Amino acid sequence: MSNKLAKRIGSYILIIIGALLASFSVICILIPNDAIDYGTAGIAIIINKLTGVNLSLCVIMIFLPFWIAGTWLLGKRFGAKALIGTVFYTIGLSVFEKIPFELNTEHFLAVCFGGAILGLGLALILRFGGCIDGSEIFANILIKMVENKTGKNFSMTYILLCFNAAVYMAVFVLINRNSALMSLLVYVVATTVINHFTDRFEAIKQVTIITKDPDELIAQIKKELNKTCTIMNSYGAIAGENKTLICYVSYFELQKMKDIISANPGTFSTVSTVEEILR
């Protein structure tokens, strides 16, 4: 087995583990303690509570259009990882519903603990290129549309905040105030854990590539990501003259950028988080 194949299989296994952790947290800790997940999973839980429709079915119905859009926008590999994550997330929901589990502690502590487990599961999924929530895909679509029209790069932060604020307002109005406040606590704890392990996945990423043969890289980045690069002359103490490419991508586009770079040996690359781009 090649090293590349082993890494790919390992990434799928960790996405599955992350999906099962997330589903365990939602079914066994959050919902019994009057809290819900956020994003499109939160919408699915609201529908389940109001209508009684099977939760796994609600998750699939809500996520499916976002998955189709994400596969089209971010590529088949992203689509495959997102599909595997979602399938095992929904399987986990169904399985854990049948397993008796009771956390005998205060609601506040239970929700903090559940939010941390949820954040760990989602961090594993995001770190290895997957996704089980449509809100991130929705944010990517909006950013892509704005970028295509204006040429400007934007962070997902504000879009995700607005999306989840709408979800919590729905919880406040349709369910109850305590559930909305507990769910907000879940969001704060989970996103703190996610950002710790993914270095702020909602922020813009700067990819710096040093190479002697930039033409093929630039062509692939343009074709696969519809992105341009800043090109600078550089000089290595050992390698001598080369080119430095700088490109700005979203967290989900970063996975495809890594595939492009790995297909072009002889490069040296770094990734950093950009707080803001001024124009």
Q: What angle do CA 155, 158, 160 make, to 5 degrees?
A: 95
pLDDT at 89 over 60: yes
pLDDT score for 101: 81
The token duo for 215 is: 């033409």
Report d(CA 182, CA 179) in Å as an integer. 5
Residue at 77: amino acid letter: R
Q: Are residues 224 and 183 in the same domain?
A: no
Q: Per-residue pLDDT tens for 121-167?
A: 999 998 888 888 888 888 888 887 877 777 676 778 888 889 999 99
Q: Are residues 154 and 212 in the same domain?
A: no
- Give the global pTM: 0.84
Mean pLDDT of the chain: 87
Report d(CA 197, CA 145) in Å as an integer. 28
Q: Please give the C-alpha separations between residue 119 and each of 131, 199, 209, 237, in angstroms, as whole numbers.
A: 13, 13, 31, 43
Query: Residue 133 is inside which H or E element, if any?
Result: none
Question: Percent of the chain, pLDDT > 90?
Answer: 35
CB 273 within 8 A of CB 203: yes
CB 217 within 8 A of CB 245: yes
pLDDT grade, residue 27 (50/70/90)? very high
In a domain, 137, yes or no: yes
Report d(CA 20, CA 56) in Å as an integer. 13
Q: Are residues 187 and 217 in the same domain?
A: no
Q: Are residues 132 and 193 in the same domain?
A: yes
In a domain, 140, yes or no: yes
CB 212 within 8 A of CB 266: yes
Q: Per-residue pLDDT tens for 92-110?
A: 999 998 888 877 778 888 8
pLDDT at 46 over 70: yes
Backbone torsion region of residue 200, taken as left when φ is above 0, otherwise alpha when ψ lies between -120 and 50, otherwise beta: left
Q: Which of 139, 83, 110 is nearest to 28 (CA)?
A: 110
Residue at a domain's end among 198, 228, 243: 198
Q: Are residues 126 and 235 in the same domain?
A: no
pLDDT at 28 over 60: yes
In a domain, 19, yes or no: yes
pLDDT score for 2: 67
Residue at a domain's end among 159, 178, 198: 198
Comparing 72-86, 135-149, 189-203, which segment has the lowest mean pLDDT? 135-149
Q: What angle do CA 102, 195, 92 make, to 5 degrees?
A: 35
pLDDT score for 255: 81
38: Cα separation from own chain's centroid: 13
Mean pLDDT of the 116-125 span: 92
Report d(CA 14, CA 235) in Å as an integer. 39
Q: Are residues 60 and 189 in the same domain?
A: yes
Q: Are residues 62 and 157 in the same domain?
A: yes
pLDDT grade, residue 213 (50/70/90)? confident
186: Cα separation from own chain's centroid: 17
Q: Are residues 79 and 176 in the same domain?
A: yes
Q: Are residues 194 and 211 in the same domain?
A: no
**Could you tell me which residues are beta bridge partners of residue 245?**
209, 231
In a domain, 81, yes or no: yes
Q: Per-residue pLDDT tens for 221-238?
A: 988 888 888 899 988 877
Q: Are residues 192 and 208 in the same domain?
A: no
pLDDT score for 1: 57
Q: What is the 3-state secondary structure (H, E, C) of 7-33?
A: HHHHHHHHHHHHHHHHHHHHHHHHHHH
Q: Name the domain count of the chain.
A: 2
Q: Is 266 helix (H, G, I), strand (E, B) or coil?
A: coil
Residue at a domain's end among 198, 217, 245: 198
Q: How many CB atoms lie within 10 A of CB 61?
A: 15
Q: Are residues 254 and 183 in the same domain?
A: no
Q: How many CB atoms lie within 10 A of CB 65?
A: 13
**CATH number (domain holding residue 237):** 3.30.70.120
Phi, psi of 225 (to 5 degrees): -115, -10
Q: Are residues 76 and 194 in the same domain?
A: yes
Report d(CA 43, CA 49) in Å as an integer. 10
In a domain, 279, yes or no: no
Domain holding 95, by residue range, is 3-198
Q: Per-residue pLDDT tens for 1-10?
A: 567 778 888 8
First to last CA, the chain: 47
